[in-house]
Chains A and B, each alone.
Chain A
Amino acid sequence: MPAAPTVPRSRNRLLIGLASIAALAAAWFVLTGSGAVGSARFPSPLEFWKAADQIATRGYAGGTLLLQAWHSTRLVVLGFLVAVATGIPLGLLMGWSRRFEALINPAFLLVRPIPPLAWIPLAIVWLGLGDAAKVMVIWFAAFVPSVINAYTGARNIDPVFVAAARVHGASSARVLWEIVIPGSLPMIFTGLRLSLQASWTTLVAAELVGAFYGLGRVLDIAYRDIYPAMIAVAMVTVGVLGALTTQVLVQIEKWAVPWRR
């Protein structure tokens, strides 16, 4: 730590990281190849590849990889957008007006501690096993973080800015629109990222419990078929899609909040 670095740290870091990934991959090959880990428990790289190929070309559990992925992504985006469109205004209003907050609090505080996944059985009772139930659950999952972060963002606006605006004669509406909302955007985007993560988790869970299509359904069928390679493929796909959608969000944030570092 104190010594003057001879090799730039970033290069070191990359090498070590690659080395450990390589070690892990090697262990994967060896353990599954030698039979130390039975193929009923964990897929070998070859099996993984075969399963991936199967679902990509011929399809599995009712559709190709593209179809399943598209189905899931569509639901996530839909639920996410609805949640965000309802949650952010609510959160902002609650942060902005203590009166409004007092009014909404009882309902919100009752609903808030209930984990989104706990809504799945109720959603199924109300809406069946179709897409509507999934969207409802995703909405709940993404709604709460959006509200909370919008609320925190609005609540934590430095009163100095509000005072400066009012001193210049700004009406309440203008203060809300030009000070509170832009000022809350960083916190809102943090909430958006959490909401997106929650959306994906909830969707997978909801589809696992019961669905007609989707990556969660693939997971479910693969489990029943005792097909760990396919389970792995579905998991990896979910992870990749999650990362991709998060990246999209990050780019949007960069555009919307240019003043943040």
Chain B
Amino acid sequence: MAAVNRTARPGELLLLTALGAALFFGGWQALAASDLVSKQVLPSPLAVLEAGWTMTQKPFAGNLLQAHILASLQRFAMGFGLAALIGVPLGLVMGRYRVIDDAVSPIFEGLRFIAPLAWVPFAALWFGTGIGGPVMVIFAGAFPPCVINAYRGAQLVETRLVEAAQTLGARNVRIIAEVLLPGALPSIVAGLRVSAGLAWQSLIGAELIVVSAGIGYVMVQGQSNLSPAIVMAGMLAVGAVGLAIDVLLRLAERTVRKRWGHVA
């Protein structure tokens, strides 16, 4: 849309993309294969892929790679699910009732500033290496965007729509469920997308520190073994799963917008 520069032809752009990829991977491969850097420090792209593949066939750090990924996803789902189930209604209610907003906001703003990772020691104290620890950390990271976006979404819902519902006889629960929730949905889904990203990040962080299974654990073991290939394979896995989650939520966002004609 914004053609800040003279527009390049699509063919040219494709060529440049391919060139960029070639330069990046080629350079990487060349650097790794040369004697400038030891294999122990920089594995080639192929070595990374190979390490990853091997982990799907032979267990590493206690399990196959797929099992580790699944373990991570489980924690993610729990933490993210909790954050959404509590955060979204809370945000909506705060958006609707000023009193609740006034009461909850100061506490919320104060706690928000604490980096989710900083909760790890407490989580570890309270839950040991059990599932509660990472879930709590994920929750701390995923909760704020859910609340904030639901809150802002509720505020953006045209006052007229709330008034229309009131004049038609709707009571508060119905107003929240049938007017504020759908009206705020685009904002909520956007918040869920941000929240999922933060949740995934917090999860990995937690797994780096306190856990016995999961992709984070794989990476820490790789680090202990001084095996950058495994670490990088883990990183790729983390990136790929995170990307997949984001793509799914983007799709959800787009569907909502399209169905309701770009609401709000």
Q: Please report A residues at the B interface, Cβ cutoff 8 Å.
A: 1, 9, 12-13, 16-21, 24, 40-41, 95-99, 102-107, 110, 112-122, 124-126, 154-159, 162, 172, 180, 197, 200-201, 204-205, 208-209, 219-220, 222-223, 226, 228, 231, 234-236, 238-239, 242-243
Contacts and interface: CB of A to CB of B under 8 A. Distances in A.
A15 B240 CA distance: 48
A201 B115 CA distance: 5
B118 A204 contact: yes
B122 A106 contact: no
A9 B102 CA distance: 10
Nearest to A220: B121
A16 to B, nearest CB: 4
B220 interface: yes
B106 interface: yes
Interface in B18-41: 19-21, 23-25, 41
B193 to A, nearest CB: 13
A9 B119 CA distance: 35
B85 interface: no
Given A102-B8, A103-B19, 20 more contacts: A21-B107, A97-B4, A99-B8, A102-B14, A106-B25, A107-B21, A114-B236, A115-B200, A116-B201, A121-B208, A122-B223, A154-B4, A157-B2, A159-B3, A172-B5, A205-B117, A209-B220, A220-B121, A231-B121, A235-B114
Contacts of A21: 106-107
A208 B123 CA distance: 13
B24 A121 contact: no
Given A155-B2, A243-B113, A118 B209 contact: no
B106 A115 contact: no
A123 to B, nearest CB: 9
A125 B201 contact: no
A103 B8 CA distance: 13
B107 A115 contact: no
Interface residues of B, number: 64
A209 B209 contact: yes
A33 to B, nearest CB: 20
B17 A103 contact: yes
Given A103-B19, A106-B24, A121-B231, A157 B4 contact: yes
B49 interface: no
A162 B120 contact: no
A195 to B, nearest CB: 14
B90 interface: no
A6 B40 CA distance: 72
A37 to B, nearest CB: 10
A123 B40 CA distance: 13
A154 B8 CA distance: 17
Count chain A CB atoms within 10 A of each CB in B8, B41, B209 and give the residue with the most. B209
B4 A95 contact: yes
Interface in B61-79: none
10 contacts: A97-B5, A103-B19, A114-B236, A121-B208, A125-B226, A125-B228, A125-B231, A126-B41, A208-B117, A219-B120
A159 B2 contact: yes
Given A124-B223, A243-B113, A98 B120 contact: no
A113 B242 contact: yes
B161 to A, nearest CB: 14
A178 B214 CA distance: 49
